[in-house]
Structure 1
Amino acid sequence: MKTARDFELDCRRLRQHLIEVLPAKLGASMLEETRTNFRNESYGNDDVRERWPERRYEDKLTYPKLRYTGRLFRSIQPKVHRISSRAAVVSLGSPLSYAQVHNEGWRPGMPITGSTLRQPPSATKRVWLPRRPKQRQYMGIGRRSVRKFMQVIRKEVNAAMRK
């Protein structure tokens, strides 16, 4: 039979497990959701899939939207910031300057991305392309995200309690 001391040790072990393991698992869940949004070329964290806007030369481009080089897709990584021994903040981000512009859409004051003079597909001369990309949201927290977080938390608590 367990004593009060055993129960106290179990609680400490559970707390330590949740502090060390849970933030990384939540970050991985956020990253998986973002990659799903890239694969589907839409944002659907609020249970309604919003397709990304079409590109100017959609019929001539063979690569997926926002995946010309794959640099943006690969740069998105989860980050865990420890606030104290009991708390942490989990975020998802990219060091690229144009990541925010693509996710939120261009607004005055945001950096202007890329070159304005570019060779469009199958064009014979260079043309001016718009410097203000349309919003193609790929990151964010919605109802689906919260449900996934709760599943991960329940799973981790149950796994820690079984140990």
Structure 2
Amino acid sequence: MSVARKNAWAGALHRLEDGVLALAVFALVLLATASIVLRTGFDTGLPWLDPLLRMLVLWLAMLGAMAAAREGRHIGLDIAARWLPALAARVVRMLTYGFAAAISAILAWQALRMVRDEYEIGGIAFASVPSWLAQAILPFGLAVIALRLAAAAFRAPTPPADGIPGH
């Protein structure tokens, strides 16, 4: 597959990911507003709405973390790498990103086990939505984050906008 074609696929995947993230934010705001209006204006509510909102917050957190890992905007402690020579900064980057990728992969595996257990239990999150489906974003998102961090470990550090070397 050519580089241009890979970039086109990656761009389409990133736009899809951003679209799902934006849709989830929109749904969360709309449904939370509806909940507030129903409770304050009509002294009623929908019993499935609060669990749905909690699930949307979970999905937003994971989708946001995936996007942050994609863009290299995740939380990081790169103070040492900022002041090290280029080669040392690259080694430190490989070690820290590799460690973060390994931890994310372990968390993804454990989340997959949790979702599998939830599937076997057959719990319901809200309405007729099974708990395992609501939690499925956890192993998926953590696996994507692990892959993105692992790939970033082998990329050369990009020069920072603030001009500080070694970033």
Q: TM-score, normalised by structure 2?
A: 0.30
Higher helix share: 2
Higher strand share: 1
Greater RCO, 1 or 2 (C-alpha within 8 Å, sep 6+): 1
